[in-house]
Amino acid sequence: MHIHIINPNTTASMTQAIHRAAECQASTGVRITASQPESGPVSIESHFDEVVSAVGVAQEVLKGEREGGIDAYIVACFGDPGLLAARELTRAPVIGIAEAAFHLATLISTRFSIVTTLSRTGIIAEHLLEQYGFRHHCRRIRAAEIPVLDLEHHPDAAFKRIVEECCRARDEDDIGAIVLGCGGMANLTQEISREVGIPVVEGVSAALKLAESLVGLGLYTSKHGDLAYPRPKPFTGQFAALSDLQLPPK
């Protein structure tokens, strides 16, 4: 089984960290690869960053489909950018790390809180919770107020802030579990977990397991209805290459 992780931002070191974290969690016989778009923002902290990164996600899926052999994709940014578009482009399952974390959190607790990076991205999580159906399962969205790349540049300070906020969630929010709201926290999960003492769900590993699950069951992204392959059509300018997607007829 071959699962490919797309880090939607273009920071290669973060891709590598996510790759390593995922490999630690992968089941025997599962090959993990990871990439980031050639073009796009170095981190995703706004709707604008997200919109640009979504194109990169789609392009990485198309690249994967052209090369072949990929059984499932993971979109490793907590806003799940481009998720439904990516699903249109392939029969392989595509899993976002926000949805993955939400799904697993509801299986081990009745209510959870999210601890994310910057408060301005809270609205993105809020919209996802609504779309996925988990509005009432999430008690609160908390921000540690650390920019995404500080997870790399100032890991100790970042770790401290995240743990503090997780502890506050544990003590004040009437919850059973915490969802970490950033792909860049993937490699910190176990340590955070140990400090906080209640289940901490991190999206990359959650998505990995859901991807393994779907592939293992032979389940695939439905091509019946609204996730069918996009109708082929001309694209112009710098996106002209998308005119010829070479996707299966149906």
Token representation of residue 121: 């991205």
Q: Contacting a second copy (CB under 8 A), which of 160, 168, 195, 242?
A: 242
Which amino acid makes up residue 101?
A
Residue 193 CB, shortest distance to a second copy, in Å, is: 8
- Cα angle 52, 53, 59 (rounded to 5 degrees) comes to 105
The count of C-alpha atoms lying within 13 angstroms of the C-alpha of 197, restricted to the half-sphere facing its C-beta, is 5
What is the rounded CA–CA span in Å between residue 101 and residue 86?
A: 19
- Beta strands 138-143 and 200-202: pairing type? unpaired
Could you say which of 49, 60, 65, 80 contacts a second copy (CB under 8 A)?
49
Near a second copy by CB under 8 A: residue from 108, 153, 157, 191: 108
N-term to C-term CA, the chain: 24
Q: Does 177 bind a second copy (CB under 8 A)?
A: yes
Q: Does the protein bind a second copy through residue 159 (CB under 8 A)?
A: no
89 binds a second copy (CB under 8 A): yes
User: Closest CB to a second copy among 13 and 213?
Assistant: 213
Type of residue at 82: G
Tell me which stretch binds a second copy (CB under 8 A): 15-23, 151-159, 160-168, 214-222: 214-222
- Interacting span for a second copy (CB under 8 A) from 14-22, 63-71, 157-165, 222-230: 222-230
